[in-house]
C-alpha cells in the first residue's frame, strides 16, 4: 500500500524503471504519465503473484479486490 510520500517514490521509481528498460526507445509522454498518475490517487495498492514450483499456470488465479471511495 502506497500513500502520501510513498506515492511520490512509486512515481519516480516506475518512471525511472521504464526509462532504463526502454533504453533508446523511451516515449517521453509515457514516462511522464508514469511519473504523474500515481500522484493523482490517495492510495495505491500493489499486488504481486509469484509462481509456485509445480503449479499449473493454466489454472486461473482468483483475485478479489474491493474498492472503497469516499
Per-position pLDDT tens, the chain of length 70: 888 899 999 999 999 999 999 999 999 999 999 999 989 988 888 776 666 777 666 655 555 555 555 4
Host domain of residue 66? 1-70
pTM as predicted: 0.63
Instruction: Give residue 65's pLDDT.
Output: 55
Instruction: Give residue 62's pLDDT.
Output: 57
As a whole number of angstroms, the distance between CA 16 and CA 37 comes to 14
Type and span of the H or E element at 43: strand 43-44
Instruction: Give residue 61's pLDDT.
Output: 57
Tell me how many domains the chain contains.
Answer: 1
> Are the beta carbons of 21 and 65 closer than 8 angstroms?
no
Instruction: Give residue 32's pLDDT.
Output: 95
Label the pairing between strands 43-44 and 2-3: antiparallel
Amino acid at each position: 500500500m502506497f500513500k502520501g510520500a510513498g506515492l511520490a517514490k512509486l512515481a519516480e521509481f516506475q518512471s525511472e524503471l521504464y526509462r532504463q528498460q526502454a533504453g533508446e526507445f523511451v516515449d517521453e509522454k509515457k514516462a511522464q504519465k508514469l511519473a504523474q498518475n500515481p500522484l493523482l490517487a490517495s492510495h495505491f495498492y500493489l499486488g504481486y503473484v509469484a509462481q509456485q514450483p509445480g503449479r499449473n499456470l493454466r489454472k486461473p488465479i482468483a483475485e478479489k479486490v474491493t474498492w472503497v471511495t469516499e
